[in-house]
């Protein structure tokens, strides 16, 4: 369900904001996981980017990462909007209770 919300809300970003979002995302670590590789992000459109984030962070983690990125690009309106659509995401994250990963991710998205 969160996947559809993420795709819809990513459409609220203009191209310049979307590029800034991807720039910040290539540096974002979450729950000790390495960022998504820049080569994977470079050509990703909005739908592909949502797929990459869900593969890497699972749905709830992807929502939290998106919220963090929205804060970094000063789109707090979208943080609030996404928080209302996906309230469970506000209860998880690196400093909150929720799923954590103790080993680095080895999925094809994270490693070439």
pLDDT, residue 88, reads 63
Beta bridge partners of 33: 30
* pTM of the predicted model as reported, rounded to 2 decimal places: 0.76
Q: What is the dihedral of CA 106, 112, 62, 15, to 10 degrees?
A: 170
Mean pLDDT by 10 residues, the chain (112 residues): 88 96 92 91 95 93 93 95 78 42 43 44
Domain parsing of the chain, residue ranges: 2-91
Superfamily of domain 2-91: Death Domain, Fas (1.10.533.10)
pLDDT, position 90: 60
User: What letter would DSSP give residue 88?
Assistant: G
Model pLDDT, residue 105: 44
């Amino acid at each position: 369900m969160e996947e559809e919300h993420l795709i819809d809300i990513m459409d609220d970003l203009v191209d310049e904001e979307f590029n800034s979002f991807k720039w910040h995302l290539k540096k974002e670590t979450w729950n000790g996981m390495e960022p998504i590789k820049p080569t994977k992000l470079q050509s990703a459109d909005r739908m592909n980017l949502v797929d990459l984030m869900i593969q890497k962070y699972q749905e709830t983690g992807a929502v939290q990462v998106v919220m963090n990125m929205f804060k970094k690009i000063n789109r707090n309106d979208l943080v609030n909007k996404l928080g209302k659509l996906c309230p469970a995401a506000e209860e998880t994250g690196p400093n909150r209770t929720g799923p954590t990963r103790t080993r680095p991710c080895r999925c094809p998205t994270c490693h070439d």
